[in-house]
Structure 1
Amino acid sequence: MANIQYYDVILKPVVTEKSMGMMGDKKYTFLVHPEATKTQVKEAVEKMFNGTKVKSVNTMNLDGKKKRARGSMKYGRTSKTKKAIVQLTADSADIEIFEGL
């Protein structure tokens, strides 16, 4: 297992219609480091965003999409990613980066 610091765990937030709809239930979606564990994701969210308390973390590994080079018969794939859905407790503060979206 790699030695990952908490500021390297969360790569970027996922902004889609489905993830915006889940924000009402205090569920936030992030792309995370592929080798990050659920406990590392929980620790990173609580340290990076003040006043947040994580209830649970669900993670999923996503395979890369198939791509073909333009004008040739070369095939390849995009890189694999990992996504985490973080559920906050009811008395937890909201995450600021999602406000106003």
Structure 2
Amino acid sequence: MCLGIPGQIIEITDPDRLMAMADVSGVRREVSVACILDGPIDGLIGKWTLIHVGFAMSVIDEAEAAATLEALHGLGEAQETLEQMREGAKALEAGA
């Protein structure tokens, strides 16, 4: 099963490589925005997206993002993925 988790694009990290920083439930993760780019890359800042394995797969509205996060948290499916992301972020910080 593929799990897309809502995340909000908060900054563009590498416009040449189409990379951006997304906030996923308080965890920041760099993602590719190549699949969702439809205009200037800076126009993605503040947009909500569904993120799967480092790719922003589609743009969604804030209400859909909130409902999806609530459903995933309620089902417990997002918890393991978010914990893995937190551990990965900690490992990256420790190596920096």
Q: Shorter chain as normaliser: what TM range? A: under 0.3
TM-score, reference length from structure 1: 0.25
By relative contact order (CA 8 Å, sep 6+), the higher-ranking structure is 1
